[in-house]
Structure formats: C-alpha cells, structure tokens
Amino acid sequence: MASESTKSQAVENLAFIREMMEAGQRQTRFNATYMIVWGTLLAAAFLAQYFEALGYFSASIPTIWLPPILIGWAASIYIGIKTNTATDKNNPVIKAYSTAYMSIGITMSFYFFATLAFGTFDPVTITILACGLYGAVHLINGVVTGLFIFKATAVGWWGLMAYFTHDASHTKEMLLVLAGACIVLILVPAVLIRASRSEVLTEAKTSV
Amino acid sequence: MTDFDYRAIDDVIHSRVRLAIMSYLMTAGSADFTALKKETKVSDGNLSTHLSKLEANGYVIVEKSFVDKKPQTTVRVSDTGREKFKAYVDSLAALIGTA
C-alpha cells in the first residue's frame, strides 16, 4: 500500500513536472502562434479573393492582400520581440525554423510587391512558388523539430504544387483549394502541435 | 489494499534532475545544453551525467554541432522518451489515486 509520504512525494513530483513543463512551454509555445496567425490570415485572404471572384463584392488584388500581409508581418515582429529570449537565440532548432519561415515571408512579399510594381504579377506563378516554398520549409521543420506532422504537410504542399503545375489555369476553385490548404496544412497542424504539447501538461496539472 | 504496482515507477526518469530535463523537453521540444543547465540549476558535469543516462536509455537524442565556431549540444526528446514520460506521469497519478 502506498504510504502518505509516498503519495506526498508523488504530488510534489507532479507539481515539479508542471513547473518544468511550463518553463519549456514558455520557450517554444509561440512557434505555433506564428503558424496560427499566418494560416488564418492567408486562408481569410484566399477566401476573400474567392468570393470576390464569384462577384460577392469588388476589390483589387492589392486591396485584398495588403492588409493580411501587413498584419502578418506586424504580428510576426510583435511576437518575435515579445518572445525572443537568449535561449531562442542560441537554439539552432529555433533559429533554423524561424529563418525558414522568414525566408518564405521575404520571398513571397518580394515577389508580390515587385511584380505588382512592374505589372508582371502572375497568380499561377505565385501559387506554385508558395506551395514549393511551404513544402521545403515544412520538410526542414520536420527534420529539425522531429515532428512528423511537418513532413506530412510538406508532402501535401508539394502535392498541391504538382497539381497546380499540371493545371496552370487560374480558376476560382484554385483559390478555394488554397484557402483549404492554408487551413489543413498550416492552421490545423499548428493547433495539433500546441494541443499535443499541452496534453501532458494538462494531465500533470489535473493530477496534482 | 491497493493495486498500485511500484515497479511501474520508471527509475530512469525518477531522478530529480532527469525528471526536470524530461519535463522541460516535453514542451520545449529541444534545448541546448546552456538552456538545460540554466533550467535544471546543476553543474556541467552533473548535467552531462544525467543526459548520458537518458541518451543511453533512448529517452533523448543528443546532437553536437558548431555554431559560430563554438561547440553546441542540442538535446531533444525521442519518441520512446515521450512515451515513457507519459507512462511515468500516469504512474504518479495512479499512486496518488490509490494511496
């Protein structure tokens, strides 16, 4: 039979586990926040563009895309300033995936603004570019973090790239597919990653 | 009477320092040696010893690399470690429930 002192030690250990897990969560929980922010903004922008194409309202591409891009960058900078710790700066894993995501943002923003400025914007090219970049970055994330879900979503992005390469026509449905991809391949994995990290933490909390 | 099995307590994780390392890595995913030292508040040698035991049992994966020409050790929890940790928390919960 477990004695009172053994039980007391178990309670103490669970409290200690909770404390350490919360310390670990403070280090990386915001990683998923970037994905949640961008997944939501991109899905919303694609849906807005889809409904615009259907004729529900009238707006130009810059009008639809500028707000989410600016909000996304502002939110990313804010999250970065708020959460950037000495540990993050020294952690090669965090540096690897944050740089990978930043490279998507820079490439896509550069393409978007440059092609708008020169009048060479091509919706199919930017779509294929985005799918390829997301596939590459998710593979990098999968390798450096050891999270299998990123490898699965990398395959999803490359599958989409193959699909859009095969059918290069810019249709309304393409916008809907991309909105769905942002939800399924960015937003949902972010929520799952966050949930899996808090699962044991919750268990430790409720067990005390 | 109780049906709690004391053998369910995982000796590899049960040490205070190793428990701290595993708990931290479960949510952090990975951490460098300096961060773990700061969080566990132990000496370099002590931390190395505990990491070696966790690594030998397959609970963590230790990777060494060079960043800005300086050696860096990164530790992340393995799938086995994740499962063992969950089982450990379950065993503590069972212990409390049956005392």
> Residue B99 pLDDT more than 50?
no
Give ipTM to 2 decimals.
0.87
Distance (Å) of CA A146 to CA A138, A139, A172: 11, 10, 36
Spatial distance between the Cα atoms of A18 and A34, rounded to a whole number of angstroms: 25
Across chain B, mean pLDDT equals 84
Judge: A87–B30 Cβ closer than 8 Å, yes or no: no
Position B13 in a domain: yes
Position B62 in a domain: yes
Q: Could you list the residue range(s) of the whole structural domain that residue B14 is in?
A: 8-98
**Domain containing B36 — which CATH number?**
1.10.10.10
Spatial distance between the Cα atoms of B61 and A103, rounded to a whole number of angstroms: 28
Domain ranges of chain A: 11-207
Judge: B93–A25 Cβ closer than 8 Å, yes or no: no
Nearest CA in chain B to A206: B93
In A, which residues are within 8 Å of B76 by CB distance?
A: 93, 145-146
Residues B9 and A2 sit within 8 Å (Cβ to Cβ): no
- Taking residue B71's Cβ as centre, other Cβ atoms within 10 Å add up to 9
Burial of A98 (0-12, 13-18, 19+ CB in 10 A): middle
Task: Report CA torsion sign: A118, A122, A123, A129.
Answer: negative
Nearest CA in chain A to B86: A200
Position B33 in a domain: yes
Spatial distance between the Cα atoms of B68 and B91, rounded to a whole number of angstroms: 43
Lowest average pLDDT, out of A17-21, A197-201, B18-22, B56-60, goes to A197-201
Using one digit for the tens of pLDDT, what is the confidence trace for A123-138? 888 889 999 999 999 9
CB contacts under 8 A, B 54-93 vs A, are 61, 65, 67, 72, 74, 76, 85-86, 89-90, 92-93
Position B2 in a domain: no
Its pTM stands at 0.60
Across chain A, mean pLDDT equals 83
Q: Which of A21, A27, A92 sits opposite B23 (nearest CB)?
A: A21
B30-32/B60-67 β-pairing? unpaired
Position B3 in a domain: no
Judge: A146–B67 Cβ closer than 8 Å, yes or no: no
Judge: B32–A92 Cβ closer than 8 Å, yes or no: yes
Q: How far is B57 from chain A (nearest CA, A)?
A: 18
Residue type, A40: T
Using one digit for the tens of pLDDT, what is the confidence trace for A11-53? 888 999 988 987 886 665 446 788 899 999 999 999 999 999 9
Residues B22 and B59 sit within 8 Å (Cβ to Cβ): yes
Question: Strand, coil or helix: what is B70?
Answer: strand
Average pLDDT over residues B75-95: 88
- Split into its structural domains, chain B has a count of 1
Judge: A27–B16 Cβ closer than 8 Å, yes or no: no
In B, which residues are within 8 Å of A198 by CB distance?
A: 27
Q: Which of A13, A92, A147 sits opposite B67 (nearest CB)?
A: A92
Residues B58 and B23 sit within 8 Å (Cβ to Cβ): no
B46 in reach of chain A (CB within 8 A): no
Position B79 in a domain: yes
